[in-house]
Amino acid sequence: MPQVTFLGPFFIRRSPDGASEDFTRGVTREVTQAWLDQWGGKLPNSHWRVEGANYTSGVELGEIPDSSWKRKQILKWLGNYGIKPQVEDENNEELEPPPEDKEGE
């Protein structure tokens, strides 16, 4: 079972879920994997230590955007994860890679 320890800077920190007991600095607490999956994103490494976690992101390496992706592909990919970016139209050309030159045509 995963264990979570609050490292500071304060002596007491509210639980990220708002319903569990507050965390005390330096005191390790066992949490369920389901709790960690839901609230682990609220535990930055600078203030928390997480041990025994079994993280599964659900993202295959081949599915992470790279510089060859078009704007529409990136927006669709973000939408699959519930992210709705606010992208200005004037910045769209920065998301598109420059066209490749084809020699000999």
- Give pLDDT tens digits for 83-105: 777 766 555 555 566 667 666 55
- Give pLDDT tens digits for 40-54: 888 888 899 999 887
Give the contacts of 64 (CB within 8 A, at least 6 positions apart). Answer: none
Q: Where are the alpha helices (DSSP H) in the chain?
A: 33-39, 71-80, 92-95
What is the domain partition of the chain in residue ranges? 3-51, 61-95
Q: Taking residues 55-60, report their average pLDDT.
A: 50
Token couple for 80? 């699959």
